[in-house]
Amino acid sequence: MLAAGGALALAASSGLLAGCGADAKDGGGSDRFRAAFTAGGSQETLDPHVAPNFVDQARAKALYDTLGTYADDMSVRERLAESWESDASGTRWRIRLRKAEFHDGKPVTAKDVLYSYRRAADPATGSPSQVLLSAIDFHATRADGERSVVFALKAPNFEFPTVFAGPGTEIIPDGTKDFRKPVGSGPFTYVSFTPGGTARYRRWTGHWDGAPHIAELEIVPANEESARLNALLSGQVHYASDMAGASVDRLKKEGSTRLLTAGRATAQQLLLRTGRKPFDDPRLVRAVQLGIDRAALVRVALAGHGEVGNDLFGLGLRGYPQGLEPRERDIGEARRLVKEAGAEGLHITVETSSVDATWEPAADLMAHQLREAGLRLTANTRASSTYFSEIRTQGVAAFNTTSTLPVSDFLQQRVRGGAARNQTQYASKKFDTLLEHARTTRDEQNRLALLARAQKIARDESGLLVWAFSDANDAIGPSVRGLRAAPPNSHDWARFDRVRIG
Nearest CA among 273, 242, 248 for reference residue 403: 242
Judge whether 451 and 458 are in contact, CB under 8 Å: no
Distance (Å, whole) CA 78 – CA 129: 18
Q: What is the pLDDT of residue 254?
A: 85
Distance (Å, whole) CA 295 – CA 307: 8
Angle between helices 282-291 and 444-461 (to 10 degrees): 90
Angle, alpha carbons 451-319-78 (nearest 5°): 120
Nearest CA among 383, 459, 464, 467 for reference residue 423: 464
Q: What is the pLDDT of residue 357?
A: 84
**Mean pLDDT in residue range 488-502:** 94
Distance (Å, whole) CA 180 – CA 192: 9
Distance (Å, whole) CA 426 – CA 462: 5
Q: What is the pLDDT of residue 30?
A: 59
Judge whether 424 and 462 are in contact, CB under 8 Å: yes
Distance (Å, whole) CA 40 – CA 196: 6
Q: Side chain identity at 464, as an amino acid letter?
A: L
Q: What is the pLDDT of residue 72?
A: 95
Q: Is the pLDDT of residue 16 over 60?
A: no
Q: Is the pLDDT of residue 224 over 80?
A: yes
How many H helices and E strands in the chain? 14, 19
How much of the chain, in percent, has pLDDT values that exceed 70?
94
Q: What is the pLDDT of residue 372?
A: 97
Q: Pick the residue with more confidence: 492 or 131?
A: 492
Distance (Å, whole) CA 72 – CA 326: 24
Q: Is the pLDDT of residue 48 over 90?
A: yes
Nearest CA among 308, 309, 315, 269 for reference residue 407: 315
116-162: per-residue pLDDT in tens? 999 999 999 999 889 889 999 999 999 999 999 999 999 999 999 99
Q: Is the pLDDT of residue 444 over 60?
A: yes
Judge whether 298 and 468 are in contact, CB under 8 Å: yes
300-357: per-residue pLDDT in tens? 999 898 999 999 999 999 999 999 999 999 999 999 999 999 999 999 999 999 888 8
Judge whether 257 and 279 are in contact, CB under 8 Å: no
Q: Side chain identity at 214, as an amino acid letter?
A: I
Stretch (H or E) spanning 258: strand 258-272
72-94: per-residue pLDDT in tens? 999 999 999 999 999 999 999 99
Beta strands in 227-329 (DSSP E): 239-243, 258-272, 306-308
Distance (Å, whole) CA 477 – CA 458: 43
Judge whether 328 and 275 are in contact, CB under 8 Å: no
Q: What is the pLDDT of residue 128?
A: 87
417-432: per-residue pLDDT in tens? 998 889 999 999 999 9
240-266: per-residue pLDDT in tens? 999 987 889 899 888 889 999 999 999
Q: Is the pLDDT of residue 439 over 80?
A: yes
Strands 142-143 and 148-152: antiparallel
Q: What is the pLDDT of residue 53?
A: 85
Reported as a pLDDT band with limits 50, 70 and 90, residue 455 is very high
Distance (Å, whole) CA 209 – CA 207: 6
Distance (Å, whole) CA 57 – CA 59: 5
Q: Side chain identity at 325, as an amino acid letter?
A: E
Q: Side chain identity at 136, as an amino acid letter?
A: I
